[in-house]
Amino acid sequence: MGHDRCPPRPRAHTLRFMNDPSLVGQGIWAPGVSLMRRLRFLPKMGLLMTLMVLGFVWPTGAYIHEQWTNIEFSEKERAGVKLLEALYPALTAALNVRRDVTARARLLIDAEAFERSGRAGASGSRQSGGEVDGRWRSGDADAPTASVDRAAAIDRSMRRACV
């Protein structure tokens, strides 16, 4: 019937600017040029101002977000420092105990060496190794006084540390 006389309908996916011969040389900018040709002055300026403001707001927002991230990180660092301040006395005490135990072990090794040197001596004025060891540990022997003083200081610090 009358269907042959109707003009063909354009396809739904066909865009207006694709058929405009004045936009052939515009390339990728053709949609924007077509939009700007259709808009009046105020909508054009509104669109341009929106794009300009967006170019300012986006980097500013990213900067502010980065600064807040840095502030949160600093707050976590401060909390960590407070925790370490609370733990520092315990750490110091543990290190002191370790130092004292190591020094005491060295003194015991020195005492054994002193005892061996006392046994190795051939003079009759030297006591037996057991006597020297017992007297040296009590501070009565002929051992160097610095070692005895150091041993007494270690014993006191270990008693203070409740070890």
pLDDT tens, 35-45? 888 899 999 99
In this structure, which amino acid lies at residue 158? M
Over residues 7-15, the mean pLDDT reads 59
End-to-end CA distance of the chain: 111
CA distance 35 to 18: 12
CA distance 46 to 40: 10
Contacts of 132 (CB under 8 A, 6+ apart): 114, 115, 118, 126, 141, 142
Q: Predicted confidence band at 148 (pLDDT cuts at 50, 70, 90)?
A: low
Percent of the chain with pLDDT over 70: 57
CA distance 44 to 138: 100
Q: Residue 142: helix, strand or coil by DSSP?
A: coil
pLDDT, position 46: 95
pLDDT, position 55: 93
- Between 98 and 154, the higher pLDDT residue: 98
How much is the mean pLDDT over the chain? Answer: 75
Greatest mean pLDDT range, 12-16, 26-30, 128-132, 156-160: 26-30
Query: DSSP string spanning 74-111?
Result: HHHHHHHHHHHHHHHHHHHHHHHHHHHHHHHHHHHHHH
CA distance 134 to 115: 10
